[in-house]
Amino acid sequence: MNKIYLFIVLFIFHHGFATGQSDPKENVYAEEDQYEDDPYYWSYSKEIGINFTPLISKLVPFNLGQNEAGRIGLIWKKYYSKRAFRVSFGANITESFDDIDTDFFYLAIGLERRHPITKDKKIAYTSSWDIFFEGDEFDDGPGLGIAKGYGFEYHFTKRIFISTEGQFKLGLGGEFGGPIIKFQLPLAIFVNVRLY
Map out the domains of the chain as residue ranges.
1-32, 38-195
User: How high does pLDDT run on average in the chain?
Assistant: 77
pLDDT band at residue 26, thresholds of 50, 70 and 90? Answer: very low
End-to-end CA distance of the chain: 53
Please determine, for residue 19, whether its predicted confidence score (pLDDT) is greater than 60. no
Looking at residue 190, its pLDDT comes to 94
| Short-list 111, 110, 108, 125, CA closest to 72 | 108
Per-residue DSSP letter, 81: S
Instruction: Please tell me the number of Cα atoms within 13 Å of 43 on its side-chain side.
Output: 8
Question: What whole-number distance in Å separates Cα of residue 42 and Cα of residue 86?
Answer: 14
The Cα angle at residue 164 between residues 33 and 72, in degrees rounded to 5 = 115
pLDDT over threshold 80, residue 5: no
| Dihedral angle, C-alpha 117, 68, 185, 180, nearest 10 ° | 140
**133, pLDDT greater than 50:** yes
Q: How confident is the model at residue 118 (pLDDT cuts 50, 70, 90)?
A: confident
Q: Which residues contact 164 (CB under 8 A, 6 or more apart)?
A: 151, 152, 186, 187, 188, 189, 190
pLDDT band at residue 50 using 50, 70 and 90 as cut-offs: very high
Decide which of 36 and 123 is more confident.
123
* CATH number assigned to the domain covering 38-195: 2.40.160.20
pLDDT band at 180 (very low <50, low <70, confident <90, very high): confident
Residue 69 has pLDDT above 90, yes or no: no
Q: What is the pLDDT of residue 24?
A: 45
Amino acid 76: pLDDT = 95
Q: What is the average per-residue pLDDT within 58-79?
A: 73
Averaged pLDDT for residues 35-52:
80
DSSP percent split of the chain into helix, strand, coil, nearest 5: 25, 45, 35
